[in-house]
Each structure stands twice: as C-alpha cells, then as structure tokens.
Amino acid sequence: MTSAVTTDKSARPGYGQLMRTPGALGFVLPGFAARLPFGMLTISILLLVQHTTGSYASAGIVAAVTGVSMALSAPVMGIFTDRFGQSAVLLPVVLTHAAAVSGLAALALAGAPVWALALAAVPAGASVPQVGPMVRARWAVKLEGSPLLPTAAAFESVTDEFTFVVGPVLATALCTGVHPAAGLVTEATLTLLGGLLFAAQRATQPKPHAPAAAGEKRAFALSFPGLRVLIFAFLGIGAVFGGMQVSLAAFSNEIGNPGANGLLYGVFAAGNMIAGIAMGAIAWKIGPRRRLILGYIGLTAAASVLWAAHSVILLGALGLVVGLFIAPALITGYTMVEQLVPANARTEAFTWLTGSIAFGQAIAVILAGRLTDAHGSSYGFLVPMGATALALATLLALRAKLAPKAPSRIVNSSGPADATASAPVPAVSTAPAPASRNRVNERGMGHRVPVTVD
C-alpha cells in the first residue's frame, strides 16, 4: 500500500508549532505525569534497601533485578500494545505496578533477606508502564511525513530528562527527609494516577494492528538490523545512568552529605535536558548517523574522566558535560526508529530501546555497587567508562546497518536516517513509485523533503 506524505515547508519546525498540533496537549500532559515516577524508581530502591541492609551491593542487586525485569517485559508490552491498543495494556499494568512496588517496600521495611527482596523486585520491574514509548508512538502517527517529527523526538528526550532531574531529587528528598520508603510509595501512587489519566486519552492513541492476513508476515521490530545496533548503543547509555546513580550516592555519603546526591544527579540530568532543547531547535545539516557517532564519541570521552573527580564542584561539572552528550545519542536513536521500523512494530521498537536502557542500567548498578563497596565511589565511575567504550566500538563496527532498507512503508527525509543512495530524492506522488527509484537523501534531517516508498 502506498501513501502520500505532505509537509508545510513554509513553517519553521519548533516547539511552539509542535504544541499546536491538534490533540497534542491532551496526551503530552498526562503522559508527563505518568512518566515522572520512572526517574524515581531505581534511586528509591537503592536508598531504601541500602538503608535496611547497609550494603550498596545488596541494594544494587535488588535495583538490578527490577531493571532486568523491566528490560525483558518492555518489548512484550510493546507487542501487546501494537496488537491490542495502549489503553487495554496500560490499565492492568499500572494497577499491578502499584501493588508490586508497595509489596517490595513493605518487605524491605520488615527486614526481609535480599533474595526475598529480589523476588519481589521481579513484578515491580516487569510492570513498569511503557508510557514513554506510547507517547512517542502517538507523535509518530500524528506527525508521519512532517518535519516536526525530529522536534517531537527532541521534546520527548527533554521530557524524559526532566523526569530524571525532578525524579531523583524528589526521591532523595523523600527518602532522606521523610521516610526511607517514602520514595517508593510516592512512585507507586504517581504511576497509578498518571497512568490511569493517560490511558483515558483514547482519541490520540494509535489504532491497534490486526493479526497479519494469510501470506503476510508480521513485522517484529527486532528483525530489523538497524534497531539491533541502536540497542547496543542504548545499553551504554543505560550503564551511564546506573553507574552515575550508585557512584554519586556513594560519593555523597563519603563526603558526609547524602543530600548532595540529588543535586549532583540533577545537574547531570540538567545537562541532558539543555542539550535536548538545543537539539530540537537546530535544523541539522549533517546526517543523523554521523550525529549519533559524534555524540557517542563525546559521551565516551566525558565518561572516561569521572573517576578522577574528587570534589563536588568538579564532579558536578563533569556530570553536566556527560549529560550534554547523552541527549544527541538518545534523540537521534529514538527518531531513527521512524525510518528503520514500520509503523505496525514501532511501539515494540521504542520499548526495545527503553528496555535496553533499563538493562544497561541494571548491569551497571550491580557492577558499580560491588566496586563501590569494595573500593569506593571512584571505582564505581569506571563502569560508565567501560560500557560506553564497548558500545561505541559496536556502533562504529556496525554503523552501515543504520541505513533504512525496509520496504513497504512510508519514509520521509525529516526522519533521522542516513542512507547510502546518492540519487536525487523523488517528488511526492499519490501514485506508486517503482522500487528502483526509492531513495532517501544522505543528509537525512538536513533536507525536509518527503518521499513515498512502496
């Protein structure tokens, strides 16, 4: 099936124009409310379990089980969402999550052993609602073929990072100033209320995709090689988040100021948010594949010097720089999904990336927790350094797979994908175009030219 795409070339892509998209505020605002708890979950578990057990390693194990469970369940949740619709999946998930997190908090306060806490962490992580990918899927449907799509991806990254600014600070304040379990209780409450409100916005959710007809193959997101490359890249980003959470908390305790943890992590996330705002305001003239690689090189370099910081000011400055380099990788990677994966598997693709971040974060929390317990916070910072270096090597070796090659879908050059073709971009037409003429301009987002592909 062939569809035509039209864009308003006279309009300058920007956040104001994005928010004027019909129906956008209806899902953006409740979507933010439902995503804020995501930034609170891991740090709340770390602080509560560390308080009850006295060990960062034990706290890291419980937090890691939560992250791994989420990483494994997220793609399954994405498949069900593509098949049955967002509201049908979200309603039972948020109810389960609130109950599971409340149970985990109760066990920790009762002094349950680590193995029991780890078991309780499985449903708590597996039931984390994938609201971020659901919001991105709504933008993809609303803006398909529009030059505003990269702006929407940047906006979503800013929203994600705002949750990582507010979430850890709020969780730390609650756990250290109110009660060790207050962070988890608040996380469960906000997830339930925000998730129910978002699920009620049915008008803007993508239509469920019916089972494939006879002889038609069902598209699974993981079958597209470009997505698999992005998964490796996002593992490294997740390791930065996890390593920073554990190491910054340990560093704050080492200097006798536990409250500094929320401030330092907030500065780190603020760098990500600032870069995300800038990314959405710039009309890039280099291809997204190149942007992804350059951003990842900067991220790896910045993460490689964290271990040497021994003061709050220096560590805060380095954390800010690390955050500035995370945003380009996140925004570009999420936006590339629009061209690497067809629409009927897009929510699943977004959940693979979100799950990859969670899995990388989980492994980093375990490793950084053990290193921190044994040698101090400086050794915990070695985890982000090693993880980003490995992810960068993978990204460089497999960068050719990031060129979109999937047939039978709409491709538009406003989406972030490098292509290997050098032929001119054909004009939009409502008539089917021969397969041999389907091309995407190498400069990707630098040219806001729509393309129709069979």
C-beta of residue 130 within 8 angstroms of C-beta of residue 74: yes
Calpha distance 228→231 (Å, rounded): 5
Nearest-5° angle of CA 313, CA 246, CA 382?
A: 75
Distance of alpha carbon 453 from the chain centroid: 28
Cβ–Cβ contacts within 10 Å for residue 308, how many?
11
Calpha distance 328→413 (Å, rounded): 18
Calpha distance 342→212 (Å, rounded): 14
What lies within 8 Å, CB to CB, of 293 at 6+ separation is 395, 396, 399
Joined together, the tokens standing for residue 220 give 């699974």
C-beta of residue 295 within 8 angstroms of C-beta of residue 325: yes
Calpha distance 18→137 (Å, rounded): 15
pLDDT of the residue at 218? 58
Angle between helices 149-177 and 260-281 (to 10 degrees): 170
How does pLDDT run along the chain (454 residues), one tens digit per residue? 333 333 444 445 677 888 888 888 888 888 888 888 877 888 899 889 988 988 878 888 898 888 888 888 888 888 888 888 888 899 999 999 999 999 999 999 998 999 999 999 999 999 999 888 888 888 878 887 777 877 887 788 778 767 766 777 788 889 888 999 999 999 999 999 988 988 888 888 888 766 554 445 556 777 778 888 899 899 999 899 888 888 888 888 888 777 677 778 778 877 877 887 777 666 667 777 788 888 899 999 999 988 878 878 888 888 889 888 888 888 888 878 777 777 677 777 888 887 788 788 878 888 888 888 888 888 888 999 999 999 999 988 887 887 765 444 433 433 333 433 333 333 333 344 444 333 333 333 333 333 333 3
As a whole number of Å, the end-to-end CA separation of the chain is 7
Calpha distance 108→103 (Å, rounded): 9
SS3 string, 230-270, reads: HHHHHHHHHHHHHHHHHHHHHHHHHCCCCCHHHHHHHHHHH
C-beta of residue 395 within 8 angstroms of C-beta of residue 228: no
pLDDT of the residue at 419? 38
pLDDT of the residue at 57? 80
Helix H or strand E encompassing 341: none
Residue whose tokens read 């693979």? 352
Please name the residue ranges forming H helices in 85-148.
Answer: 86-109, 114-126, 131-142
Calpha distance 199→294 (Å, rounded): 38
Calpha distance 173→43 (Å, rounded): 11
Nearest-5° angle of CA 157, CA 445, CA 141?
A: 60
Q: What backbone phi and psi angles, to 5 degrees, belong to 257? A: -135, 75
pLDDT digits 0-9 by tens, 194-211: 889 888 888 888 887 665
Task: Report in angstroms the alpha-carbon separations of 54 from 46, 131, 266.
Answer: 11, 33, 24
What lies within 8 Å, CB to CB, of 121 at 6+ separation is 45, 62, 63, 65, 66, 69, 104
pLDDT of the residue at 92? 93
Q: Is 22 exposed, middle or buried (0-12, 13-18, 19+ CB in 10 A)?
A: exposed
